[in-house]
Chain A
Amino acid sequence: MSAAASIRKRNSPLVSYDDDTLAMLNSVEFPSSSSSSTSTTPRRRNPQKSRNSVDSNATATESTIDSHVHTPTPVHRAKKKIFAAKIARLNEFLDMEESELCLRTADLRSFARSEGGLITDQIRAKIWPALANATAAGDMDGLEVESITESSCSDSDFETARSTMSSSEDCDTEDTGPTIDELKRHPEWNQVEMDVHRTLARFPPGTSEDERVSLQTDLIPLIVRVLSENCKFRYYQGFHDICLTLILVLGTESAFRVARILSHRTVFKRYLTKSLEESAMADLQYMFVLLFKHNKKLELYLREAELGTLFALSWPLTWFSHVLDDYQQVVMCFDVFLASDPLMPIYVAAAMLQEREVEIFNTEQDMPALHHLLSNVPADINMTTVLAVALDLFQQYPPSQLRHTYQREYDAECEASRYRHAPLPPANTMTRYSINKWITVGAVSAAAFYLIWSSQYLEAMR
C-alpha cells in the first residue's frame, strides 16, 4: 500500500505538475476536444468526407497542436480555466463518503469520460472503486449479460456470496481469504509469477527498486486470489497487466477489491472463463464493423489485406495497458473503460485504426507488414484524440445497433464482395475434386449416350 501511495503521489499532477506543464497538457489536448466533444463535427461524422481529406486532416491536426503549444491563444487560456475548474470539482469528490459517491455515479462517469479523464491518481484512487462498484452486471446489454449469468453459476459458495453483494458495501478485506501457501499451490501461480516478474517496463519512471519489488510481491498473490475465487477462471497473459495498473493507482487492498469486481461482473469474466476466440477475438470483429460504417475505404483496405484481428488481441485483454508506453495514457484509458460499456475497448481499437489511417495507407497491403505496423502503437500517439473519437463512435454506432443491424450490413457486404470478386476455385481443389467429378460425369454421359444411340441403331437395323 505504501509503495503504491508514494508512486501515486509522484504521479499526481496536483503535487508535481506546475502551471506550465498543465498549460502544455491543456494545449496538446485541445485539438481533440474541438473535433469530437461536439457530436456534430462533420469530419468525424462523415466517412465519405474523411476519406477524401485524410492528408489535410492529419496536417491540420498537427499544425493545430504546434500552434497551440507555441502561442497560447484566448481559446487556449479559456481551456486552461475549464481544466482548472474541472480539477477543483474533482477534488470535491475526495472528501466524500463512499455512500455519497454512490449517488453521484452519473457525474463520476461523465468526468471519467471527459477529456483528460480523472487527471490525477489521487482522484482516481477515490473514484475508480466507486466506478467499479457501480458496474452491475445489469449494465451490460445483449451478449454480455447472457455470458455473465451463464458462467456465474456453480462457483464456490464464496463466489456466490460475493456476487450478491450490494454495490455500496465495503468488501471486508480482512475476511479469511486463502493463505499465501494455499495460493502458491494454485495451478496458475507459476505463470503469474513469471509474468509479474516480467513487468519491469510497465512501472512509471522514477519508481524505486524497493517500491517496485514490494508491489510485484503483492501483485502475485493478488492475482492468484482473484483467480482462485471462481473455479472456471483461467488466467491469461495480460490479466496481470490489468491488475498491475490497479495496484499502481489504488494500492494493494483497494486494487484487490476492484480486480475482484472486474473479474466477476465485467467483460473480464468472459475473458477469464471463455476461450480467447469466443471472447476477445469475437469482440474484435466489431472493430471492422465500426470501420465499415465509419470509414469504408480503410475497412476495405484492411479486409483485402486479410489482416485479421490478432494484431489487436492485447488491446481489449489488457485495456491497452500492454501496448501503450506511457503510464498517463494507460490510466486515462482505464478512466474511460471503468465508466463505459464493456465494448468500449473495441470502439477505442477502431478509433486507433482511424487515427493511424495515413500510416496504414502508406503501408503495403500485406498482412505481415500491417500486423507489424499496428501491433506496435507509437509512443507519441495522441490518446486523448483516440479516446474522444471512440466516444464519438460509441454515440454514433451504439452497441445494440452494432451487434445486430450493422453486423448484418457488414456480413452482407462481405458476402456480396466475395461474390463480386469470386475467384476461380483454387487450382488444387480443381485438380483434386472437380476434375475427377467432370471425368465421372463425362464418362457416365458418354455411356448413356452410347446406350441410347446403340439401342436406337439396333431399332433401326431391325
Chain B
Amino acid sequence: MEAGTSDSPVFKVVLLGEGAVGKSSILLRYIENKFNNKHLSTTQASFATRKLTVNGKTVELNIWDTAGQEKYHSLGPIYYRGSQGAMLIYDITDTRSFERIKNWVRELQEVLKGTATLLVVGNKVDLDATRQIQRETAEEYAKSVGALYAECSAKENIDIDALFETITKAMMAKASEVSTLNRGASLRRSTSRRTIQVSDDTDTEAAPKKKCC
C-alpha cells in the first residue's frame, strides 16, 4: 500500500461523486478485491496505490477516495489538484447522484481545463431492476462533455478492473500527446513531489506524459 519508489510513471486519479454511490467500495474492490457490507461513510479522503500494466507498460496509480456528501464538496480542489484522471461515479438507481456528477464535471473543466481525463461511472449495475438512469442517457451526456463512460458493480465485482484500465489508457494517451506538444518545457507546478518525480521520469520514457498547466 505504501507509495512505491520504482521508476514507473505515476498517475493521480481521484474518485468523486455523491455520498453512498460506492466510491470507497469501488476502490476496496479494486485494491483488495473485497466488498464490505459494513463499510462506513467516508469522512476523510483515503489513499491507495496500485500498479498495473497497460499496453506492456507498467504504471502506478495513486488513487484518492473522497467524501461525497455535499458539505465536503468545497474540499474538492484539495483532492483533485494535480490529478491526471477523475472518475465521476453515480448510482444508476439514483437520479440525484447523476445530476450531482454534472456539477463535478463543470467544476473540473473549469479548474483543470481539460488536463485531466474524465470517466463517468455508473455503479450498482447489480441493481439493474431498479435502474433510474438509462445507459444511453448517461453515455450521451459523457460524450457531450468529452468524458469516457463505463458501468460496473463493486458488489458483484463487475468490470471494476476495466474501469481503471480504461482511465489509465486514456491518461497515458493524453500524457504522450501533451508531452509531444510541450517537449522540453520544464513543468514544476504539481502539488506533490511524487508527481514532480513523474514528470522527470517520463522525460526519458518512450511515451512520456506531462501535465499541461
Indicate whether A417 reaches chain B with its CB closer than 8 angstroms.
Answer: no
State whether the Cβ of A74 lies closer than 8 Å to any Cβ in chain B. no
- Secondary structure class of chain A's binding surface, majority of residues: helix
CB-contact partner of B44 in A199, A240, A367, A375, under 8 A: A375
| Beta-carbon contact of A366 and B193 below 8 Å | yes
Interface flags, B88-104, vs A, CB<8A=1, else 0 = 00000000000000000
Binary per-residue interface labels of chain A (303-342) against chain B in the complex, 1 for a CB within 8 Å, 0 otherwise: 0001010111110011000100000000000000000000
A residues in contact with B74, CB < 8 Å: 275-277
List CB contacts (< 8 Å) of A173-202 with chain B.
Answer: 191, 194-195, 198-202
CB-CB contacts below 8 Å: B1-55 with A: 1-3, 5, 19-20, 37-49
Q: Mark A139-169, 1 if CB is under 8 A from B, else 0.
A: 0000000000000000000000000000000
If A200-B37, A200-B38 touch, whether A277 touches B71 (CB-CB below 8 Å) is no
Stretch from B110-118, B124-132, B162-170, B184-192 forming part of the interface with A: B184-192
Within 8 A of A (CB), among B58-98: 62, 67, 69-72, 74-75, 78-79
Answer whether residue A292 sits at the interface, using C-beta atoms and an 8 A cutoff: no
* Interface check A427, CB cutoff 8 A: yes
A93 within 8 Å of B by Cβ? no
Tell me, yes or no, whether B145 is within 8 Å of chain A by CB: no
The answer to whether A202 and B40 have CB atoms under 8 Å apart is yes
Across the A-B interface, how many residue pairs have beta carbons closer than 8 Å? 116
Known: A276-B72, A276-B75, A428-B187. A238 touches B43 (CB 8 A): yes
B189 contacts A426, CB within 8 Å? yes
Known contacts A194-B19, A198-B39, A372-B48; is-contact A426 B72 (Cβ 8 Å): no
B181 within 8 A of A: no
Task: Find out whether the CB atom of B37 lies under 8 angstroms from the CB atom of A313.
Answer: no
Instruction: Give A215 to B185 CA distance when docked, in angstroms.
Output: 60
Interface range, A side: 35 or more
Give the shortest distance, in Å, between B47 (CB) and chain A (any CB): 5
Q: What's the least CB distance linking B132 to chain A, in Å?
A: 14
A204 to B69, CA, bound (A): 26
Chain A nearest CB from B31 CB (Å) reads: 12
Query: If the complex has contacts A367-B192, A369-B3, are A322 and B43 also in contact, measured as CB distance less than 8 A?
Result: yes
Q: Are A194 and B191 in contact (CB under 8 A)?
A: no
CB of A19 closer than 8 Å to a CB of B: no
Assess whether A235 is in contact with B38, with CB atoms less than 8 Å apart. no
Is B40 in contact with A322, judged by CB distance below 8 angstroms? Answer: yes
A314 to B3 CA separation, bound complex (whole angstroms): 23
**Which residues from chain A contact B69 at a C-beta distance below 8 Å?**
191, 195, 235-237
Q: Is the CB of B192 within 8 A of A237?
A: no
A310 to B47, CA, bound (A): 11
A51 at the interface (CB under 8 A from B): no
Residues of B within 8 A of A372 (CB): 1-3, 46-48
* A310/B75 contact (C-beta < 8 A), A191-B69, A201-B38 known: yes
Tell me the bound Cα distance from A367 to B44 in angstroms.
15
- In contact, A317 and B47 (Cβ under 8 angstroms): no
A317/B43 in contact, CB under 8 A: yes
Contacts of A318 in B (CB 8 A): 43
In the assembly, what is the distance between CA of A306 and CA of B194, in Å?
12
